Amino acid sequence: MRIAAFTHDGRTRCGVVQDTSVRPLPDGVTLLDLLRDGDLSRAGTRAGDPVPLADVRLHAPLRPPTVRDFVAFEEHVEGVRRSVDGRAGVPEAWYDAPAFYFTNPYAVIGPHDDVPVPPGCLAFDFELEVAAVIGRSGRDLTPERAREHIAGYLIMNDWSARDLQGREMQVNLGPAKGKDTATTLGPWLVTADELEPYRDADGFLRLALSVTVNGDEIGRDLLSNMSWPFEDLVAYASRGTWVHPGDVLGSGTCGNGGCLAELWGLRGRQDPPPLRPGDVVEMTVEGIGALRNTVVAGPPPTPVPKARPRPRTRP
């Protein structure tokens, strides 16, 4: 089953996607409601008459309460590390556990929305990922138990201001403003059962991923090149805390051109160039669908003064 959020004739609703149409659910029912109520499997019985997808405006399928973004592709780490901080190889600590950071759920945008360049950014980048969506609450899950807590999957584009990211991470925190402007989710949630035929013998989802800029292919990879399957990511995220319905867990960016910064690190120059207003970024994931976002000019940065030296007096 595929669940989308959309606007049609001035009404924004959730619906079940079938072929080239979407069948709306009752007004006020959201994907997050379905997940929290444990009602996702019965959504089809509540759906109305079909509306052509060509006649609707798709939105992000849900407004997630949290978004964790992992970094599960070794090839990506190797290239981006060289690009962002000039160091070769992969940190030894990366192999210990699937690292992640929390990104901004208020910055989630839809599969066809315009994407503003972050204020002050001169090195704007895309990041091709797949994300899992939690369908059942749990904590301290094992990877085996974690699978039943995944409701489905969608495409994720973790847009990145590489110059801002590189500067702020010198403080050994972050990324923060380098990742704060936009995260695309969509085009819809594909329930986990639909992707089971793609699972390989090692438990990974073997899905083809690709990304183009203005029609030119930049990257192509397999989701099964992740170093941890999603069940491991969910288990690690739940260690010592809760995951709840609607939480989004990104795979991290795929390798082989899943973002520009990886290629910049490998080539030693910004080739291809950073994204500029007017560029169109399209991402396609086998078994899920496609995103298409256009980069637009963003606002100038609001000035914030630098740190003031203080005398460190004590009471």
DSSP letter at 205?
B
Task: Note the pLDDT of residue 80.
Answer: 87
The helix-helix angle for 74-85 and 260-267 (nearest 10°) equals: 70
Return the ∠ at Cα 150 (arms to 62 and 56), rounded to 5°: 30
**Kind of pairing between the strands at 57-59 and 2-8:** antiparallel
Task: Note the pLDDT of residue 81.
Answer: 84
Task: Note the pLDDT of residue 89.
Answer: 86
Domains of the chain with bracketed CATH: 2-58 (no CATH), 67-296 (3.90.850.10)
Task: Note the pLDDT of residue 127.
Answer: 98
Q: Across the 315 residues of the chain, what is the mean pLDDT of every consecutive 10-residue run?
A: 97 96 96 95 91 98 98 94 80 96 97 98 98 98 98 98 92 90 98 98 97 98 98 98 98 97 93 98 98 98 96 95
